[in-house]
Structure 1
């Protein structure tokens, strides 16, 4: 089954406390627009059921049923998660599986595609149905080309970049029913064992990969990220960095944006002291609006910036933060 004749499965990523991660709302909205009357089925991989508030939110997003997956192995492992998704595809007859683009989810998507013969597209920023087939949009070659990928296999598996879909929580179908789904994991998926899992401390800022606003510091910060962090907090955004900044130990490697780091596509990207090297541009060039602040007027980042400021970031960023605070106080 293809197109809108089959249900859509959506992986419901959530925090350890049971709250939906922000990009899940986007892919649930996308699923509802594609499913037609076939229905949107959520996949909840956890030992506990989603809360009443989460179920109400999922219903408003168009999810019609939630499968609470219980496995006899750790669902944090991508091999186990892939088998759980494959089991649900078989049980529901789904023609499309949607996941938020993350390192773990892309690995699980690849495993699922290998096991089922599905067509897989990762890091999509759009998905439509044309002539009964799913067609995904994605940027390639460091964001310089936009491609369209038609999936011809009976099952489509697509991971979607954050900030690609405008959330629509206007569905009126009510809270979806929760159905338990037990999965017996194969011996092959058990070959990897999770020895230890450490949750990162909560910074109070949005997740870098899904934030609507990202403020990035580069070599020009000379190790002082305080203006970057101040502006990010005023804007309610995340803090990122270039490879140079992380290699110097000025900030953790989990903040690195680029071809060898996190790929972001926020609605607003602000680069402070960022030169715009090719490997960094490959991880942020698909951003909606790009603002560059750099003392070097010849910095390559100005070639792709929508708005550029030639100046000292230690002067420009605090002034911008102060003005934003003033404007907010008038609201």
Structure 2
């Protein structure tokens, strides 16, 4: 909670760092409506709290969970690789981290975003001992594979002086197969921070404190929003845009559903999710035809005859947030919004 900027330490314990924290609980009207509309099955758990997402300017949803933010701003010398697409709103990661820095300016220095290799290398070893923790954001999406490899190696080998801490946060397109090949050669899995679709609990935490989204305060409206969007941040942000002019949650969800049912809407989602890669088309077609979720081993066995690299393709689809897991099991399937879009209008 201290790392998230919610609590501050004192000699005898902790206190709220700022009265702004109270805003996260929502407006008085939103809190009262939530209490009256309480669904006994809609109970926060430790897992659901870890999935919380904050609202950004314009009522956009954070692409990072609060748990992911805490990991990225933890005070140590580290490299973290954020994998995402337009559908999971990779562009908004810098905005979220800037918001976190503004909430905790004594803990975090202003974001560092070098635009040249020279500036990047300087930033890696700069800083003052016992100063605020430094976040170096490097958008590597336009880099050639060799440049990605060099930048990641530099992040590990070029360390700052004793007493200085900094985290290099590399932004990588999860749909760029050449970049993923670079990552597979020399990164540990715990360095990766894949952006995911919002869960139902993530949507609740986004909606509750946001005046512009009061239309989704009722649990049944949030469930409808989740079912319609699959939790894709791109679609949730579209819902937020619609909420500015439409006071009806059913109307917003119907509009989103009807848009996704068109060729243009379905194609836009598939492209934003990096699922139009010809190398994935065959396995996406087969997954979209499955009637029920299966374990990863069963999926590989089922798909391997037609797709020799089925295991690798499933890893890629996990990184693209295109697979969904059945709660309480190890079974997974193609996410339903993507499956519907693919069956109706996927590449042939």
TM-score if structure 2 supplies the norm length? 0.29
> 1 or 2 for the larger relative contact order (CA 8 Å, sep ≥6)?
2
TM-score by length of 1: 0.30
Q: Which has the higher strand share?
A: 1
Please identify which structure carries the higher helix content: 2
